[in-house]
Amino acid sequence: MVVNAAVVLYGTIGSLLDGLLLGSLYGLMALGLTLIFRVTKIANFAYAEYITYAGYAAFAVSSMLAGGVTAFIAGLVAAMAVGAVASLFSDELAFKPLWHRGADSLTLLVASMGVGFVMRYSLLGAAVFANWPLQVQPNVANPVLATIGGLAYVSGAHVAAVVAAIVTAVGMHILFTKTRTGKAMRATASNPVLARISGINIYYIRRLTWLLAGAIGGLAGFLYSYYNPLNPESGWQMLLWIFAAAIMGGFTFYGALLSGIILGLAEAVMGFYMSTFLHISTAYSPVIALIALVLVLLFRPEGVIRLETHMLRRRV
Amino acid sequence: MARILETRDLYGGYGKMVIINGVSIYVDRGEVVALVGPNGSGKSTLLKTIYGVAKVFKGHVVFDNKDVTYVPPEAKTALGMGFVPQTDNVFPDLTVEENLEMGGYLLRDERKLREAMEVVYNIFPQLRDLRHVLAGALSGGQRKMVAVGRALMTMPKLLLMDEPTAGLAPKTALELLDKLMDIKRETNASILIVEQHARRALEISDRGYVLVSGRIAAEGSGRDILSRPDLQELFLGKHG
């Protein structure tokens, strides 16, 4: 079969644009996971469910409205609020009590799988009970802003995802390096007893961390469902990419964003070429993320960016 | 002289383990009090119990005429207490300057924070040059300076110090002790200090307590304790 050159060109551009969108979302999701990990040392598998819950909250709230800007804002606010609350509750009800009893990171990781499982299938049960459609999407139109060659296009979701991811990553970096609250988060992670002795209310800092991480997950959940329909397992299905981005990023904020974008681009572009030239189903595209993760862990185990090494270099 | 700190029949420890068995001590305003005793006698645990880092089982802690027995550590710091733990006394993942900033977390005013930082940098000039270095990358002596400097940021009325010279070379250790006395004179803070250099600690202190197996075995002026031959043999001989 002869492959049309125009199809290849515009298909490549389109997959680059979609990869950037998807990658920004992976990066954004990884930012919340990174925040929780850096402050509480929990590799939180339940994090994916905050994203899904947020998407459903946006669907539920926006469906009650007539669409348009009001529905967009209401959906966004609902998603971030539900993500934040789901995140805080999972800590207050599960992780914090275990931590108080001296649970180590591995115990907390397994507990987070349990929390995620309960959350995921509660939502599935609720969806069946409420007779929701199999897939949901907020009642918000995603306008096409520009088309390229009739194949590639830029939509509102593309712009929103990229802007949200960059703004959040920069915001988190500023929070951690410039503000007293962010430094107190790092201090709490570094030495919780000394943090208390220094006058830091570590329980307040912990609650703030979970709320913020959940809100970031909620923002990502809203933007994801703005572009793609969502089902009760959507967050869970993306968890591998989220963890891959956070790990490749060395649990730094800029690292997570950059890694997410690399993963999204690799998946979309390689997926397009594989299906166009080799006729390999795009269902195999997750392999690309895994290969990227393995390569990074082999050659740069400290992640694509590592904050600490930069800071150590400043030693006088 | 008015009491700044008093413990009354204090019992403390970890989990279900009682290590401090009914300790009653006091520190007057402007006083330096040394807490000495053999290894494992509970000196560190007593300080931690007073500060609320270890568990209180029974008894009372009174600071500045307020019962603070069950007040959490962060609130004790807000009341004007300060604590330099023996180990884990810096934030290794934060720079020197950020460590000091966290010490001054309760100073809501940015200007006051900078002023307090200047005071600490003047006491430990070395820290000024190291301010952008992670505390985890410092030498033992530099780390102790950060630990003490962090606690000084709020200008506490009472400073609890747990072996601030542990692990330092003898010369550095004695220099640090002299520095602590300078700080004391300048800030008029009261100090309760646990010190391995027992003889030196008792010499510079107004009074001292000897802790053995979680109980007060002897108390008196530093000179009195140093002149008692029975106590010398118990623990002073080795480090004196």
Give me B108's structure tokens: 């809501």
Q: Are A39 and A205 in contact (CB under 8 A)?
A: yes
Q: Cα(A66)–Cα(B124) distance, rounded to whole angstroms?
A: 65
The pLDDT score that the predictor gives to residue B120 is 92
Q: What angle do helix axes B110-123 and B170-187 make, rounded to 10 degrees?
A: 140
Q: Which residues of A touch B106 (CB under 8 A)?
A: 198-199
Alpha-carbon Rg of chain B, whole angstroms?
A: 17
The answer to whether the CB atoms of B98 and A314 lie below 8 A apart is: no
The answer to whether the CB atoms of A197 and B72 lie below 8 A apart is: no
**How many structural domains are present in chain A?**
1
Give me A156's structure tokens: 């509102």
The answer to whether the CB atoms of A187 and B94 lie below 8 A apart is: yes
Residue A126: give the domain boundaries. 5-315
**Residue numbers of chain A with a pLDDT score lower than 50:** 308-316
Read off the CATH number of the domain in which A287 is found: 1.10.3470
Residue of B nearest to A203 (CA): B74
The answer to whether the CB atoms of B83 and A197 lie below 8 A apart is: yes
Residue B134 has its nearest CB partner, among A189, A201, A311, at: A311
Q: Cα(A225)–Cα(A52) distance, rounded to whole angstroms?
A: 9
Residue A186 has its nearest CB partner, among B89, B94, B150, at: B94
Parallel, antiparallel or unpaired: strands B66-67 and B55-63: antiparallel
Distance from CA of A315 to the nearest CA of B (A): 5
Q: Does residue B62 belong to the interface with chain A, where contact is any CB pair within 8 Å?
A: no
Nearest to B50, CA basis, from B62, B37, B38, B39: B62
Q: Cα(B114)–Cα(B78) distance, rounded to whole angstroms?
A: 18
The answer to whether the CB atoms of A199 and B130 lie below 8 A apart is: no
Q: Which residues of A touch B50 (CB under 8 A)?
A: none
Distance from CA of A135 to the nearest CA of B (A): 44
Cα distance from N-terminal residue to C-terminal residue, chain B: 31
Residue A303 backbone zone (phi > 0: left; psi -120 to 50: alpha; other: beta): left
Q: Cα(A247)–Cα(A84) distance, rounded to whole angstroms?
A: 23
pLDDT by 10-residue block (mean), chain B, 240 residues: 91 93 94 90 95 95 95 96 95 96 93 94 92 93 93 94 86 84 85 86 89 90 82 57
Q: Does residue A201 belong to the interface with chain B, where contact is any CB pair within 8 Å?
A: yes
Please give the C-alpha separations between residue B110 and each of B115, B125, B131, in angstroms, as whole numbers: 9, 21, 17
Q: Does residue B12 belong to the interface with chain A, where contact is any CB pair within 8 Å?
A: no
Q: Does residue A307 belong to the interface with chain B, where contact is any CB pair within 8 Å?
A: no
Could you give the count of Cα atoms lying within 13 Å of A253 in the half-sphere of its Cβ? Answer: 20
Q: Which residues of B touch A201 (CB under 8 A)?
A: 74
The pLDDT score that the predictor gives to residue A310 is 44
Buried/exposed A180-194: b ≥16 CB within 10 Å, e otherwise: bebbbbbbbbbbbbb
DSSP B31: -
Residue A196 has its nearest CB partner, among B72, B89, B133, at: B72
Residue B133 has its nearest CB partner, among A186, A199, A316, at: A316
Interface with A, mutate which of B45, B86, B93, B96 (most A CBs under 10 A): B93
Tens digits of residue pLDDT in A57-81: 999 998 888 878 889 999 999 999 9
Residue B102 has its nearest CB partner, among A187, A201, A314, at: A187
Dihedrals φ, ψ of B202, to 5°? -70, -30
Q: Cα(B219)–Cα(B24) distance, rounded to whole angstroms?
A: 11
What does chain B come to in residues?
A: 240
